[in-house]
Amino acid sequence: MYLALVVGLMFVLPIVSVLVEYLSLPAGAAIMPLVGKWFVFWCAGVRLLLAGLRQYFQPQFTAREIFDMKSNEALPVVRELGVANFSIGVVGVLSLLAQSFVLPAAIAAGIFYGVAGGRHVMEPARSRNETIAMVSDLFAFVVLAAFVASTYLG
Residue span of the structural domain in which 118 resides: 32-153
> d(Cα 42, Cα 54) in Å, to the nearest integer?
16
* Contact criterion met (CB below 8 Å) for 149 and 114: no
Element (H, E) at 90: helix 75-94
Q: Does residue 15 sit within a domain?
A: no
Q: How many domains does the chain have?
A: 1
Give 71's pLDDT tier (boundaries 50, 70, 90).
confident
Give 79's pLDDT tier (boundaries 50, 70, 90).
very high
Q: Does residue 8 sit within a domain?
A: no
Q: Does residue 111 sit within a domain?
A: yes
0.85 exceeded by pTM: yes
Q: Tell me: pLDDT of 1 over 90.
A: no
Per-residue model confidence (pLDDT) at position 119: 94
Per-residue model confidence (pLDDT) at position 66: 80
Q: Does residue 20 sit within a domain?
A: no
Q: Does residue 120 sit within a domain?
A: yes
pLDDT tens digits, 11-68: 999 999 999 999 999 998 999 999 999 999 999 999 999 999 999 999 998 888 887 8
